[in-house]
């Protein structure tokens, strides 16, 4: 089957989703990111790989952390970075997505970083570029709808590998609103692909997708049972808009059952790490004592995210 992310040689030319990527490519990205961590630690935090290239950040949906870390990553690769806040530009005047892309291609774009509320938008762009013969332009998905957030998934894997070294002995729990979470989907595919033997999903029935077991995930509705002996806890943000619908009674009710408190964390393995993709809602999905505690690796995740995005952009731009 044709994989739109790979070129004819099987090399990564777009990053659209972790699903369907060979484990060797995931490992290559993590290894390359480790080399970029060294670059970020020295006096001149730049390498000349993407000198003269233009990276367009196309954010059709709001984001601060992801957009900023992509921008820092591109600048550390010596690319020129253009940020387009599409809410305020052509799309609001009625231009179609692909017309916007064609115009940016005419401005000599080399790489698009795309965040879009519609699942599949980055695929549409990659497919369009192929049809118009622009195989030299690359697309990196920075989050599309409920579908995928592959660089977040990869930076989560980098974080886990950094602290736990080996994927093949781990129990990993993902907690919260998995139904609406593209991060959870990317994490599940990456964890499974890298050989994690036990992936758990913990949350209320209304926030867990059906058929998670088909992805090899163990489903728990009770935090105490789900957290027992896990090595890694990935907390998800509870989006405020979920509260207004019929999915949840209230934030305090949610916190009582699924908020990560020191008492609940004590059920996990004593050296378990706590991750969160941000932005955090303190007192909703996570207690401040945990978020600021010794087992939290939430801020290192952000730092690793820059190196991972440098790795992804430099790999796709070279293929």
Which H/E stretch holds residue 201?
Answer: strand 198-202
Stretch that binds another protein, among 28-36, 101-109, 147-155, 264-272 (CB under 8 A): 28-36
Does residue 318 touch another protein according to CB under 8 A?
A: yes
Distance of CA 285 to the CA centre of its chain: 19
Q: What burial letters (b/e) apply to 185-199, b meaning 16+ CB within 10 Å?
A: bbbbbbbbbbebebb
If we measure between CA atoms, which residue out of 234, 226, 238, 223 comes closest to residue 191? 234
Stretch that binds another protein, among 44-52, 80-88, 224-232, 260-268 (CB under 8 A): 44-52
Q: How far apart are the first and last CA of the chain?
A: 20
Does residue 302 touch another protein according to CB under 8 A?
A: no
Give the contacts of 67 (CB within 8 A, at least 6 positions apart): 57, 59, 83, 115, 142
If we measure between CA atoms, which residue out of 274, 299, 305 comes closest to residue 37? 305
Q: Are 259 and 287 in contact (CB under 8 A)?
A: yes
User: Phi and psi for 263 in degrees, rounded to 5?
Assistant: -65, -45
Does residue 46 touch another protein according to CB under 8 A?
A: yes
Name the minimum Å distance from CB 139 to another protein.
16
Total residues binding another protein (CB under 8 A): 21
Considering only 3, 40, 47, 98, the residue that binds another protein (CB under 8 A) is 47
Stretch that binds another protein, among 43-51, 208-216, 222-230, 298-306 (CB under 8 A): 43-51
DSSP bridge pairs for 81: 55
What the block records as the tokens of 128 is 């369009």
Does residue 43 touch another protein according to CB under 8 A?
A: yes
Name the minimum Å distance from CB 108 to another protein.
15
Name the minimum Å distance from CB 166 to another protein.
19
Does residue 39 touch another protein according to CB under 8 A?
A: yes
Considering only 42, 88, 165, 210, the residue that binds another protein (CB under 8 A) is 42
Stretch that binds another protein, among 98-106, 178-186, 288-296, 311-319 (CB under 8 A): 311-319
Q: Give ∠ CA 201-116-216 in degrees, rounded to 5.
A: 20
**Binding residues vs another protein (CB under 8 A):** 11, 28, 31-32, 34-35, 37-39, 42-44, 46-49, 314-315, 317-319
């Amino acid at each position: 089957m044709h994989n739109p992310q790979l070129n004819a040689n099987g090399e990564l030319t777009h990053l659209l989703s972790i699903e369907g990527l060979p484990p060797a490519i995931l490992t290559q990205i993590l290894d390359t990111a480790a080399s970029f961590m060294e670059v970020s630690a020295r006096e001149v935090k730049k390498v000349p790989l993407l000198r003269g290239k233009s990276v367009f950040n196309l954010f059709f949906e709001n984001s601060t952390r992801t957009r900023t870390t992509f921008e820092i990553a591109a600048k550390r690769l010596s690319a020129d970075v253009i940020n387009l806040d599409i809410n305020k530009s052509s799309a609001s005047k009625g231009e179609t997505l692909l017309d916007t892309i064609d115009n940016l291609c005419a401005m000599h774009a080399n790489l698009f970083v795309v965040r879009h509320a519609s699942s599949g938008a980055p695929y549409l762009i990659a497919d369009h570029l192929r049809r118009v013969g622009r195989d030299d332009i690359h697309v990196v998905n920075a989050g599309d709808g409920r579908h995928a957030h592959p660089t977040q998934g990869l930076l989560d894997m980098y974080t886990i590998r950094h602290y736990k070294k080996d994927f093949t002995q781990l129990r990993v729990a993902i907690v919260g609103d998995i139904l609406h979470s593209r991060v959870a989907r990317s994490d599940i595919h990456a964890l499974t692909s890298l050989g994690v033997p036990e992936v758990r999903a913990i949350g209320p029935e209304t926030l867990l997708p059906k058929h998670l077991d088909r992805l090899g995930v163990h489903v728990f509705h009770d935090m105490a049972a789900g957290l027992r002996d896990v090595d890694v806890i990935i907390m998800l943000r509870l989006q405020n808009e979920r509260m207004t619908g019929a999915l949840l009674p209230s934030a305090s009710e949610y916190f009582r059952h699924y908020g990560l408190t020191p008492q609940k964390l004590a059920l996990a393995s004593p050296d378990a790490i706590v991750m969160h993709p941000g932005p955090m809602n303190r007192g909703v999905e996570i207690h401040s004592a945990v978020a600021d505690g010794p087992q939290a690796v939430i801020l290192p995740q952000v730092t690793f995210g820059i190196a991972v995005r440098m790795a992804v952009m430099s790999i796709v731009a070279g293929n």
